[in-house]
Structure 1
Amino acid sequence: MTSSYKHFVAGVAGGTTATCVLHPLDLIKIRFSVSDGLPTRPQYNSMWDLTKKVWRTNGVRGLYTGVTPNIIGAGMSWGLYFFFYNTIKSYLNNGEGSKALTIPQYIGCGLVSGSATLAVTNPIWIAKTRLCLQYETQQKQYRGMTHAILDLHKQSGVRGLYKGFVPGLFGTSHGAIQFLVYEKLKIWNARRKGKDIQDKMDTFDVLAMSATSKLVAATSTYPYQVVRSRLQDQNRVYSGVMDVVRTTFKNETWRGFYKGLTANLLRVTPACCITFYTYEMMVYYLP
């Protein structure tokens, strides 16, 4: 229980810190990923064009639209993910922290942890997406995270709070791939230096391994994020996942599934580095 507590607290700290620093890039990524050419929403020529328009209208505050559910969602998601992941891993290796698992076991840990975390946090992510998609040129529909969640529940019930949940489940492969790569790099690095896997790692090692694992996972699983964001977008109604896939491919070809990828990589890579570095240090130093 002490170990699980440490992983939860360290995960919350890492996710919260990264989100506070890098939320504007998340806002840019979301707006690009749903940019389907409709005249009802603002059009942006580039990330810089989007940033200038938001800044010109609302300044720094505009770039942090939707930050509250993002901080809560990121903190809870990382905390719960690390908690579930390490609890399951500890069960599989009988509490021997230095014992490596098989590749299927690492993937299984990631999939189960991601699914459990998503079941808890999906309503928060919907609120974040909808708040980020309250454009400066439109009248505000939601006053904040709580109002967005309550309004969505009022209109669509519990089902409304889990829009995008199915593609989100596919997205658990993202965490599974990321943690698999990170764990394998961590084991390789410890053996290379003749250390135990639970020893404190050098700063550069943590940053390099977390960045590599995130780049691999983010690039290979990005299309699901586009599908999920479009399902959660209040400015366009789709009948389901396949409707999003068909419409996106028809109107934008395969490129539509990678809209916002650059902004996403610019955000998630440093965010992952911050998160994992904060997590590793807190796990090592927490009593």
Structure 2
Amino acid sequence: MAVMNQKNVGKFNLFSHVKYEHLVAGVSGGVTSTLLLHPLDLIKIRFAVNDGRTAAVPQYRGLGSAFTTIFRQEGFRGLYKGVTPNVWGSGSAWGFYFLFYNSIKTYIQGGDATTPLGPGLHMLAASEAGVLTLLLTNPIWVVKTRLCLQYENVANAPKSDVYRGMVHALGQIYKQEGVRGLYKGFFPSMLGVSHGALQFMTYEEMKNSYNEHRKLPIDTKLATSEYLAFAAVSKLIAAAATYPYQVIRARLQDHHHNYKGTWDCVKITWRFEGCRGFYKGLGPSLTRVIPATMITFLVYEKVSRFMLDQRKVREKKNSA
């Protein structure tokens, strides 16, 4: 990791940069956006795994068709299949990500939040945070994917493929497939760390450049509209650049297909579907992830700012 800001190194406590407020704020943002937008996430996953060669899998003509078909066949609850692990996964992933990212970033800065890092160090901090978060949350994403892919019209499905809920699914996957089953899709998800790194680098650089343009410290609070705009642009850039890994990850985690590994999945997708196969579900994905990211980042920024301000007030009282 990069050398810390030298002027602070003598008085900087190694663990003082770890603040639980970032964890709480990240969880708040992730849970809020997930509860509001889960149906779009479910539809994105179903589009992503639909290779057109599995007769038992429902066929949707578009986003509207998917929404109405699922609602008609599976009811309102069908639109929220997999919501429990999604809430757990999204909440914990965003919480851990913001915690790790801000801890690593502050460590690199030597505790001085006004020190700019530049694109390279922002990507380094985000990449390290992404790997640590993925190690903790990959099993939850496997469960979410499988619960989202339990179709009502699949007849005679093996009992082993029917999950009653998040805890049951975790137990069944571990029982039948071991730890490897809980970490299916881990390799393409590791490649996807670049998605988060690119997104956070873009987001941070836009905020910093904007504040520098206004001749203000880079950690100056922004307006709500500014947070929303920077979050949307950063997510759009990252999503467009890295979406194919999400398709491969979803297909590897789908228990209706059996691939020998990541490269086998890539070859089969290319052979039968061409380049378009790697971008299946992109429309519903962008429809969901752009507003989801805007909500997540806005809630995070507001909650973390409030909680950190409260921390400063308590520290002043204690030192008085």
Secondary structure, counterpart of 2:19 in structure 1: helix
Say which of 94, 101, 108 aligns to 1:85: 101
Say which of 141, 165, 168 aligns to 2:186: 165
Say which of 25, 30, 38 aligns to 1:10: 25
- Cα distance in 2 for partners of 1:3, 1:276 equals 19
Say which of 222, 225, 232 aligns to 1:201: 222
- Cα distance in 2 for partners of 1:241, 1:162 equals 13
- Cα distance in 2 for partners of 1:194, 1:278 equals 26
Partner of 1:23: 38
- Cα distance in 2 for partners of 1:225, 1:154 equals 26
Partner of 1:118: 134
Q: Residue 44 of structure 2 aligns to which amino acid in structure 1? A: K
How has the CA–CA distance of structure 1 residues 115 and 2 changed in structure 2, closer, same or farther, with 3 Å as cutoff?
closer
Q: Percent identity over the alignment? A: 49
Partner of 1:175: 196
Secondary structure, counterpart of 2:176 in structure 1: helix
Report how far residue 3 of structure 1 moved.
5.5
Partner of 2:63: 47
Partner of 1:132: 148
Secondary structure, counterpart of 1:271 in structure 2: helix
Q: Is the 8 Å Cα contact of residues 54 and 136 (structure 1) preserved in structure 2?
A: no
Report how far residue 58 of structure 1 moved.
2.7
Q: Residue 108 of structure 1 aligns to which amino acid in structure 2? A: L
- Cα distance in 2 for partners of 1:102, 1:208 equals 20
Partner of 1:230: 251
Q: Is the 8 Å Cα contact of residues 93 and 137 (structure 2) preserved in structure 1?
A: yes
Which runs of 5 or more structure 2 residues have no equivalent in the other structure? Answer: 1-15, 311-320
Q: Is the 8 Å Cα contact of residues 152 and 161 (structure 1) preserved in structure 2?
A: yes
- How well do the aligned residues superpose, as a CA RMSD in angstroms? 1.2
- Cα distance in 1 for partners of 2:41, 2:20 equals 28
Q: Residue 230 of structure 1 aligns to which amino acid in structure 2? A: R
Partner of 2:235: 214
The structure with more radius of gyration: 2
The yes-or-no answer on 1:95 pairing with 2:95 is: no
Q: What is the TM-score with the length of structure 2 in the denominator?
A: 0.88
- Between 1:130-139 and 1:6-15, the stretch displaced more is 130-139
- Cα distance in 1 for partners of 2:75, 2:260 equals 36
- Between 1:137-146 and 1:258-267, the stretch displaced more is 137-146
- Cα distance in 2 for partners of 1:137, 1:195 equals 58
- Between 1:73-82 and 1:93-102, the stretch displaced more is 93-102
Q: Residue 44 of structure 1 aligns to which amino acid in structure 2? A: Y
Report how far residue 104 of structure 1 moved.
1.9
Report how far residue 200 of structure 1 moved.
2.0
Report how far residue 2 of structure 1 moved.
7.4
Query: 1:4-47 deviations in whole A, cap 9, x for unaligned?
Result: 21111110000000000000000010000001111121111111
- Cα distance in 1 for partners of 2:176, 2:149 equals 18
Between the two proteins, the alignment pairs up a number of residues equal to 287
Query: 1:107-156 deviations in whole A, cap 9, x for unaligned?
Result: 11111110110000000000000000001212570001111111010011
Q: Is the 8 Å Cα contact of residues 208 and 219 (structure 2) preserved in structure 1?
A: no
Say which of 275, 292, 304 aligns to 1:271: 292
- Cα distance in 2 for partners of 1:222, 1:74 equals 18
- Between 1:247-256 and 1:54-63, the stretch displaced more is 54-63
Q: Is the 8 Å Cα contact of residues 29 and 295 (structure 2) preserved in structure 1?
A: yes
Query: 1:56-92 deviations in whole A, cap 9, x for unaligned?
Result: 1232211111000000000000000001001111111
Partner of 1:150: 171
